[in-house]
Chain A
Amino acid sequence: MYNNISRINIKNIIAVCIIWLSSILPNFSFSTVLRVGKEADFKTIKSAIKHAQNGDTVLISKAIYKEGNIVIDKPISIIGEDYPILDGEFEYEILSIKSNNVVIKKLQLQNSGRSSMNDLSAIKIYENKYVVIENNKLINNFFGIYLQYAKHCLVKNNTLTASQKEEYQSGNGIHCWKSDSLQIIGNRVYGHRDGIYFEFVTHTVIWRNIAHKNLRYGLHFMFSHKNAYFTNFFKDNGAGVAVMFTKEVVMMNNTFQENWGDAAYGVLFKELSDCYLSGNKFIRNTTGIFFEGSNRIVAEKNTFINNGWGMRLQANCIDNRIDKNNFLGNTYDISTNGFLTLNHFDANYWDKYEGYDLNKDNIGDVPFRPLSLFSVIVEKNSPAMLLYRSFMISLLDKSEKILPTLTPENFIDNNPRMTPYKL
């Protein structure tokens, strides 16, 4: 009796299982690996992609592939073995991703076409989600990785190098346009026009990237709200880093180094508001930070070392807070171009401070005026830089520090630190 019942039950259960499995299997289809190579099933990447089902992996062995433009229009993974070379022959966009859930790994993509009309690039993502581009080498392309209308994509540990000499011949390394929720992590960009370029990109994290020796900007973004930049490194880019027309950006622990030249800035902040800067280092730039039309920015615990100008704060900036920063060895710590000062300085360490601290609380007893007379003169009349460090100027500066007449009265740090912060 019991046996009978259990047998029926088991039969039923198996039947149900089979029905259930058969209904779900098409969605779950077991992914297969399609090999591409000289001795493999597929000789070309295009044919492998053509035969691939959703979720399959195309595994490319090491060789040089010159297949023109490769379109990936289904959710598959393209993975290279030992960095196979995909060559664009200076004519084609190499990979065009036109599907969600695509993975591109370990490829070497080189010599993409050059066209300012279509912005040809090594990898371009068209209006897709959940694309992963990881561990690729991109060499000598026009644009490197181009994302448009992309969402939730990951661009990680790629190396991008280019060798164009002029800005107009060159595209950006990682170029994102009208995208959202991206992760740009651990990439190295060298020799492109802009290292990382964002326009209308939101809710994105940019972490541990290195951009150096790019022709124009290391990082350049506009209208890209609510993004976060952590631990990136920008060195020796043609014009430093420029960010514009954006609000609610967080920048922490980034390094901006050796951006030298007339219009080069560690960071140029133009029309930014409600941003937070902390733990960043500005080393040996002509100008560390240039603020123009920027409001309600909090900059704290940053370090400015050996810059020409640590910070240039234009008079059209309002309600910025500059607190607890270290200013060390800059030619000028701060300069400004007007009399009205609506920004706040507090508890910074200035190595030019000459006051005393009687009660030993590490806060100077005399307020510090970071604006030197000469920085005001140079701002108005820049060839006067010729006279810098002459005895006459030092005398004028000293008397101005005691009785400010040419420099704004309220440009003042009331609680200057006696010793630098350990940052």
Chain B
Amino acid sequence: MIRVLKYVALDILKNKIIIAYTIMLALFAWSAFSLEDNESKGVLTVLNIVLLTVPLVSILFSTIYIYNSSEFIELLISNPVNRGMVWKALFIGLSLSMVTAYIVGVGIPLLLFANFATAIMMVATGIMLSMIFVSVAFLCSMFTRDKAKGIGVSIMLWLYFALLFDGIVLFLFFQFADYPIEKIVVILSALSPVDLSRILILLKLDVSAMLGFSGAIFQNYFGSNWGLVLSFALLGLWIAVPFAISLRKFKKKDL
């Protein structure tokens, strides 16, 4: 597995896109902190990177990479290696490179400029989001052999998580304004990793407001230690479940 992983890692490095991605992230983050006069505005800019850019790049790059390396995968599998190993090595290679790019690009300026608790939370959720969307990309690429279709599905999924989901939740809020829907909303938020990450960061970023009437509810659910453990466990599930499904499919698939 280590050898397969080495091949994958080398291949990704040769690709240079990951390096470009790292530099782009770094430029974005450093400029956000040095242009804005107060640190909290910089954090907000970085928040948008974490919630929009990171998922987009992770899911798109991974999907395309898997489709492009289908010949390489076929070649590997023709050798006496475990199929599951190949797939896992591929996943680890991709998510490692995404995570490294994120930590180097965004993590360092965050830790340098932002409030420590906020920075740690943003780095942790960013890492989780990178891996989640790599895992979702694996699932997308297993669904169809058609490359255009696969990439299309992954873009749709990103749109859904990043934009559409919030719209739907807002709509629900207005429709059920007269009902006590706080608890349902908390459960709903677990259905989107992007929202879950955003709430976790908000609890650090807008502490004062989050202790208001509605915020207090979320503070109780997510802010306590058990809430944190549970939230990260949920994010972990978002990594594990799509990948597990894709792994099962990959093992049985006729390549």
In chain A, residues 238-258, which have Cβ atoms closer than 8 Å to a Cβ of chain B?
Answer: none
Q: Are B202 and A389 within 8 A (Cβ)?
A: yes
In the complex, chain A residues whose CB is within 8 Å of the CB of B202: 388-389
CA–CA, A8 to B144, complex, Å?
134
A390/B211 contact (C-beta < 8 A), A383-B173, A383-B181 known: no
Q: Are A387 and B38 within 8 A (Cβ)?
A: no
Q: Are A329 and B38 within 8 A (Cβ)?
A: yes
Does any Cβ of A come within 8 Å of B182's Cβ?
yes
Tell me, rounded to whole Å, the shortest Cβ–Cβ distance linking A267 to chain B: 15
Q: Are B166 and A387 within 8 A (Cβ)?
A: yes
Q: Are A382 and B206 within 8 A (Cβ)?
A: no
Does any Cβ of B come within 8 Å of A393's Cβ?
yes
A262/B216 contact (C-beta < 8 A), A306-B208, A308-B210, A381-B177 known: yes
In the complex, chain A residues whose CB is within 8 Å of the CB of B213: 262, 382
Main SS of chain B's interface residues? Answer: helix
Tell me, rounded to whole Å, the shortest Cβ–Cβ distance linking B191 to chain A: 12
Q: Are A308 and B212 within 8 A (Cβ)?
A: yes
Q: Are A309 and B212 within 8 A (Cβ)?
A: yes
Q: Are B170 and A387 within 8 A (Cβ)?
A: yes
In chain A, residues 319-377, which have Cβ atoms closer than 8 Å to a Cβ of chain B?
Answer: 328-332, 351, 377
In the complex, chain B residues whose CB is within 8 Å of the CB of A385: 209-210, 212, 214-215, 218
Q: Are B210 and A392 within 8 A (Cβ)?
A: no
CA–CA, A250 to B109, complex, Å?
45
In the complex, chain A residues whose CB is within 8 Å of the CB of B41: 351
Q: Are A380 and B47 within 8 A (Cβ)?
A: no
Contact with B along A284-306 (1 / 0, CB 8 A): 11110000000000000000001
In the complex, chain A residues whose CB is within 8 Å of the CB of B40: 329
Does any Cβ of B come within 8 Å of A386's Cβ?
yes
Does any Cβ of B come within 8 Å of A154's Cβ?
no
Of chain B, the residue at the smallest CB distance from A288 is B208
Does any Cβ of A come within 8 Å of B48's Cβ?
yes
Does any Cβ of A come within 8 Å of B185's Cβ?
yes
Does any Cβ of A come within 8 Å of B51's Cβ?
yes
In the complex, chain B residues whose CB is within 8 Å of the CB of A332: 209
In the complex, chain B residues whose CB is within 8 Å of the CB of A394: 48
Q: Which of B51, B186, B214 contacts A384 (CB 8 A)?
A: B214
In the complex, chain A residues whose CB is within 8 Å of the CB of B182: 383
Does any Cβ of B come within 8 Å of A20's Cβ?
no
Q: Which of B47, B167, B214, B216 contacts A386 (CB 8 A)?
A: B214
Q: Are B211 and A308 within 8 A (Cβ)?
A: yes
Tell me, rounded to whole Å, the shortest Cβ–Cβ distance linking B7 to chain A: 37
CA–CA, A393 to B167, complex, Å?
8
Does any Cβ of B come within 8 Å of A28's Cβ?
no
Does any Cβ of B come within 8 Å of A277's Cβ?
no
Of chain B, the residue at the smallest CB distance from A329 is B40
CA–CA, A393 to B206, complex, Å?
16
Q: Are A380 and B210 within 8 A (Cβ)?
A: no
Q: Are B198 and A389 within 8 A (Cβ)?
A: yes
CA–CA, A330 to B181, complex, Å?
27
Interface centre among A307, A383, A391, A392 (most CB of B within 10 A): A383
Q: Are A309 and B209 within 8 A (Cβ)?
A: yes
Does any Cβ of A come within 8 Å of B10's Cβ?
no
In the complex, chain B residues whose CB is within 8 Å of the CB of A330: 208
A391/B166 contact (C-beta < 8 A), A383-B181, A383-B185 known: yes
Q: Are A390 and B195 within 8 A (Cβ)?
A: yes
Tell me, rounded to whole Å, the shortest Cβ–Cβ distance linking A408 to chain B: 19
Contact with A along B178-204 (1 / 0, CB 8 A): 000110011001000001001100100
Does any Cβ of B come within 8 Å of A378's Cβ?
yes
CA–CA, A124 to B212, complex, Å?
38
Does any Cβ of A come within 8 Å of B64's Cβ?
no
CA–CA, A329 to B189, complex, Å?
26
In the complex, chain A residues whose CB is within 8 Å of the CB of B181: 383
Q: Are B173 and A260 within 8 A (Cβ)?
A: no
Interface centre among B47, B208, B209, B214 (most CB of A within 10 A): B208
CA–CA, A394 to B214, complex, Å?
20
Of chain A, the residue at the smallest CB distance from B216 is A262
Tell me, rounded to whole Å, the shortest Cβ–Cβ distance linking B81 to chain A: 42
Does any Cβ of A come within 8 Å of B44's Cβ?
yes
Q: Are B209 and A331 within 8 A (Cβ)?
A: yes
Q: Which of B52, B162, B167, B208 contacts A286 (CB 8 A)?
A: B208
Of chain B, the residue at the smallest CB distance from A395 is B163
Does any Cβ of A come within 8 Å of B13's Cβ?
no
Contact with A along B152-179 (1 / 0, CB 8 A): 0000000000110011011001100100
Q: Are B211 and A386 within 8 A (Cβ)?
A: no
Q: Are B217 and A383 within 8 A (Cβ)?
A: yes
Tell me, rounded to whole Å, the shortest Cβ–Cβ distance linking B42 to chain A: 12
Q: Which of B47, B173, B208 contacts A307 (CB 8 A)?
A: B208
Q: Are B212 and A386 within 8 A (Cβ)?
A: no
In the complex, chain B residues whose CB is within 8 Å of the CB of A381: 173-174, 177
In the complex, chain B residues whose CB is within 8 Å of the CB of A308: 206, 208-212, 215
In the complex, chain B residues whose CB is within 8 Å of the CB of A377: 170, 173
Of chain A, the residue at the smallest CB distance from B178 is A381
Of chain B, the residue at the smallest CB distance from A332 is B209
Q: List 13 A-B contacts (CB under 8 A).
A: A260-B207, A306-B208, A307-B208, A328-B38, A377-B170, A381-B173, A382-B213, A383-B173, A383-B181, A383-B217, A385-B209, A385-B214, A391-B162
- In the complex, besides A306-B208, A383-B217, A385-B214, 6 extra interface pairs with C-beta distance below 8 angstroms are A260-B211, A329-B38, A329-B40, A385-B218, A390-B166, A391-B163
Q: Which 8 A-B pairs have the closest CB atoms?
A: A308-B209, A382-B214, A308-B208, A331-B209, A392-B166, A385-B214, A390-B166, A331-B206
